[in-house]
Amino acid sequence: MKRIEKTIHIYPTLDTVVGTVTDGRVSWMNIVCVGMWGPEQMVISIGKLHCINKGLLENRTMSVNMVDESMLARVRRLETAAGEDENSLHIFDYFSGELSSAPLIAEAPLAMECRIADIIETDTHYNYIVTPVDTYAREDILTDIGEIDYDKYHPALSGMPAIKMNSDRGGKKMEAIFNRRSVRQYQDRAVEDEKLEKLLRAAMQAPSAGNQQSSEFLVVRDRDSLERLSGMSPYSKMIAKAPAAIVLLGSAKRMRYAENWEQDLGAAAENLLLEAVELGLGAVWLGVHPLEERVDYIRRQFSLPDDLRPFAVIALGYPQNENANHFEDRWDASRVHYEKIG
C-alpha cells in the first residue's frame, strides 16, 4: 500500500436528485453526499448556501430520487442551473404521494418520499436525517413479484460516465475534453501566476495555419478593468466577478495566411479551456469577433493598436461549485455521416 493524499474516498457515491417545494414551486437539487444513517434512515448533506434549504427547513419533507443513465444529461443541466431558476427548465415530470411537498420524479427508477426527522447543522452544511414514508419503483426494474431486479436496476453513480469512458480509453489523459463545461461563477480567490502561465502555454501549443502562431494574449486581473470588460455584452457579466480574464487577440503582424486566423484563435481558445479544467479552474469562452460593437468596445477599453483584433475573452477562476466541470453526453449519431450524406 502507498500512502496517498488525505481525502474521503467512499467513491463513487450514488447520484440522486432531492425534491421539495420552495416558495410554492417545485425545486430540485442534485446530491451526491448521501448515505445510510442506521438501517432505517438516510443522511443527505446539503451546503447551506443552496436555496433549496429554505423549502426543506420549512416543509421538513423531501423526495430522494435515484437517477439512471437516461436522466443524467438533465441532472447535469440542473447543476449548471444551480442558483438560477431551475423550475423554469421543466426538467422532470413529477407526482405526489402522501406528502404534498415531496415531489417524486415520474421517470426515476426509484423514488422515496421522506420526512426530515432531524437536522445536524455544521458551519457549512445542513445534514438532513430522513425517514422514508413510501418508496416507488418504475415497473421495468421490478421482478414479477414486485421486488427490485438488480439485473435491471442500474443507478447512476457520481461521475460514472466519465469513469466509464476513461477506463474505455485506458487512462485519464482525455478527461478534460469530456468534463469541460462553461463555468460562470467563481470563488473569491486569485488564480496563481504559475497557473496563468500554464494556460497561456497550452493556448500557444495549438495548431495554426502554416504554424503562423497568430495569437496574442492580454491577461486582465485589475478589478476596475475586469468590471469595464464585463460591459462588452449582456452575456459577459460574470467577468466583473472573475479573478481574471484573458483576451485572445489576432495579430495582423503575425499573419501569413490571414484567411485562417479565426481558426488559429479558436484552437488556442479551446486548448486554454481544456488546460483550465486540468488545473482545477473553471472558464467560459465569451464571443467577441466578428461582432464589431464588441471588438470596438474592447479596443477602446485597452487602447489596442489596429493590428490586434480581439477574438474572444475567456473569463476564469476557481469554480464556486466543485462539480462545475462535469461530463455531459453529447454523442449524437445523427450528426455523423459515413462516406455519403443521406
The residues that touch ligand FMN, with contacts defined as CB under 6 A, are 181-182, 184, 233, 235-236, 284-287
Q: 19: which strand partners?
A: 28, 63
- Least Cβ distance, residue 316 to ligand FMN (angstroms): 13
- Least Cβ distance, residue 18 to ligand FMN (angstroms): 23
Residue 226 and residue 245 in contact, taking contact as beta carbons nearer than 8 Å: yes
- Least Cβ distance, residue 257 to ligand FMN (angstroms): 21
Quote the CA–CA distance of 57 and 34 in Å, as a whole number: 18
Residue 31 and residue 16 in contact, taking contact as beta carbons nearer than 8 Å: yes
Which helix (H) or strand (E) segment holds residue 120: the answer is strand 110-121
**Of 19 and 161, which has the nearer Cβ to ligand FMN?**
161
**Of 225 and 233, which has the nearer Cβ to ligand FMN?**
233
**Of 74 and 184, which has the nearer Cβ to ligand FMN?**
184
**Of 79 and 134, which has the nearer Cβ to ligand FMN?**
79
Whether omega before 132 lies within 30 degrees of 0, making that bond cis, reads no
List CB contacts of 142: < 8 A, sequence separation 6 or more.
Answer: 148, 149, 152
Quote the CA–CA distance of 100 and 107 in Å, as a whole number: 18
- Least Cβ distance, residue 237 to ligand FMN (angstroms): 9
The residue among 217, 242, 218 whose CA lies nearest residue 301 is 218
- Least Cβ distance, residue 270 to ligand FMN (angstroms): 9
Quote the CA–CA distance of 65 and 28 in Å, as a whole number: 10
- Least Cβ distance, residue 4 to ligand FMN (angstroms): 30
**Of 110 and 249, which has the nearer Cβ to ligand FMN?**
249
**Of 92 and 327, which has the nearer Cβ to ligand FMN?**
327
Residue nearest to ligand FMN (CB): 287
- Cell readout for 222 is 485589475
